[in-house]
Amino acid sequence: MKQRILYILVCVSVWMMSCDKEDALSPTKTPEIGYVVPQGDHDYDQKIVDWSERYNSFILYKFNMKEVYWTVNQWIESVENPEGSLYPYTAGILAANADENYVGQQLELLEKSFLNLYPDTTLMRCLPIKLLLCSQLCWRTVNNKETFYNTYNSYDCMAFNWGNADVLTMTAAQKTTFKIDVNLAFLKRLLANKKIFANADFYAGVAYSPTVTNQNMYSRGFVYRGTKLENDAEYYIQAIISTTYEDLTAEVPANDYTFKGILNSTKDVNGLIRYRYDILVNHLKTAYGIDLQAIGDTVVN
Which of 45, 40, 90, 38 minimizes the C-alpha distance to 69?
90
How far, in whole angstroms, is CA 127 from its chain's centroid? 8
Q: Is 290 left (phi over 0), alpha (psi -120 to 50) or beta?
A: beta
> Does a cis peptide bond (omega within 30 degrees of 0) precede residue 38?
yes
Residue % of the chain over a pLDDT of 70: 89
Q: Which of helix, strand or coil describes residue 77? A: strand
- Say whether pLDDT at 22 is over 50: no
Domain ranges, ordered by start, for the chain = 45-169, 200-297
C-alpha atoms less than 13 angstroms from C-alpha of 73 in its C-beta half-sphere: 0
Which of 188, 236, 194 minimizes the C-alpha distance to 212?
236
Q: Which of helix, strand or coil describes residue 134? A: strand
Render pLDDT for 217-264 as a digit per residue (tens, 0 to 9): 999 999 999 999 999 999 999 999 999 999 999 999 999 999 999 999
Residue 32, CA distances (Å) to 5, 27, 28, 58 in order: 47, 11, 8, 16
Q: Are 68 and 159 in contact (CB under 8 A)?
A: yes
- Say whether pLDDT at 14 is over 60: no
Least confident of 3-12, 152-161, 235-244: 3-12
Q: What is the mean pLDDT of residues 266-275?
A: 98
The reported pLDDT for the residue numbered 4 is 43
- Say whether pLDDT at 203 is over 60: yes
The reported pLDDT for the residue numbered 155 is 87
The reported pLDDT for the residue numbered 35 is 82
The reported pLDDT for the residue numbered 34 is 67
The more confidently predicted of residues 21 and 158 is 158
Q: What is the mean pLDDT of residues 164-179?
A: 98
**pLDDT confidence band for 173 (50 / 70 / 90):** very high
Residues 6 or more apart whose CB falls under 8 angstroms from that of 87 comprise 81, 142, 143
Least confident of 7-21, 96-110, 241-255: 7-21
Average pLDDT, the chain: 91
- Return phi, psi of residue 140, to 5°: -110, 130
Q: How many CB atoms lie within 10 A of CB 291?
A: 18
Which of 182, 171, 175, 172 minimizes the C-alpha distance to 241?
182
- Say whether pLDDT at 10 is over 50: no
- Say whether pLDDT at 103 is over 90: yes
The pTM score is 0.88
- Say whether pLDDT at 49 is over 90: yes
Q: What is the mean pLDDT of residues 280-285?
A: 98
- Say whether pLDDT at 202 is over 70: yes
Which of 57, 71, 195, 34 minimizes the C-alpha distance to 130?
57
- Say whether pLDDT at 106 is over 90: yes
Q: Are 125 and 195 in contact (CB under 8 A)?
A: yes
